[in-house]
Amino acid sequence: MTTSPPTAALLHAQGLAFARNDEPVFGPLDFALARGETLLVEGDNGSGKTTLLRVLAGLMPASAGELRFDEAPLRRESLAGRALFLGHQLGLKLDLSAAENLRHFVALYGQREGLAPAAALDEVGLAGYADEPVRRLSAGQKKRAALARLLLAPADLWLLDEPFANLDRHGIALVNRLLAAHAARGGAALVTSHGAVSFTDPSTRHLRLELNA
């Protein structure tokens, strides 16, 4: 997809900080994320993990510091279609079925070659639930329906906010599998977690956010 070598830093932050009404939320942080790498952002509740991800997704501007994406200053336009953000709110319409939700997503974000929404739902363990309204799915199943987006969208950078929340053992294994496949393809991922260790890959790097007292 790009000519840059697979080890080049896809995302690079220097002195990145965010403050809300002059109240520091996180930072300053320095980190680099290369292609094929997964970075686990750890921190207690309220340490700014979600805020960090929202800043990286381009939903809000950082208060200070520099952010570079693929060798250029990060701008919302440069992220479009190349980054995928999965937040606390899953963005699923409860009155639509999982398949309808995914078809809507694919129309907006594009679709990886050779994978249809129905097949993606099979892969995340929702075979047989594709046409069920999302309202009737359990919290874990809703999470899985949202995770199916990761299979479908052709994005380089994944920003996953608490992807392990609400998932059972198999679901956690599924997220790990998705992340491994993404890394093998040369994709990068930033994953937040409030501490409950769910990662199996020992090569994963960690970034610790401290509470700003």
Partner 1 sequence: MRPGSTAAACTAVLRRDLLLAWRRRGDAAFPVLYALIVATLFPFALGPEDALLARIAAGVVLLTVLLAMLLAFDALFRPDLEDGSLELLLLAPQPLALLLGMKILAHWLTTALPLIVIAPLLAMMLHLPAPAQPVLLAALLLGTPLLSLLGAVLVALTAGTHRSGMLLALMLLPLTVPVVIFAAGAVSAAEAGLPHLAPLLWLGAALVLALVLAPLACAAALRIALDA
* Cβ atoms < 10 Å from Cβ of 208: 11
Q: Among 1, 3, 23, 107, which residue sits at the site for partner 1 (rule: CB under 8 A)?
A: 107
Candidates 2-10, 41-49, 96-104, 199-207; binding stretch for partner 1 (CB under 8 A):
96-104
Radius of gyration, CA atoms only, the chain = 17
When asked if residue 46 is in the footprint of partner 1 (CB under 8 A), the reply is no
When asked if residue 57 is in the footprint of partner 1 (CB under 8 A), the reply is yes
Q: Among 61, 114, 128, 195, which residue sits at the site for partner 1 (rule: CB under 8 A)?
A: 61
Candidates 35-43, 92-100, 163-171, 184-192; binding stretch for partner 1 (CB under 8 A):
92-100
Q: How far apart are CA 208 and CA 29, in angstroms?
A: 10
Pattern of binders to partner 1 over 62-91, x per CB under 8 A?
-----------------xxxxx-x-xxxxx
Task: Determine the 3-state secondary structure of 83 from DSSP.
Answer: strand
Helices H, strands E: what count in the chain? 6, 9
**194, 164 in Cβ contact below 8 A?**
no
For 112, which DSSP code? -
**121, 130 in Cβ contact below 8 A?**
yes
Site size for partner 1 (CB under 8 A): 31
Kindly list the residues in this chain that would bind partner 1 in the complex (CB under 8 A): 57-61, 79-83, 85, 87-96, 100, 103-111
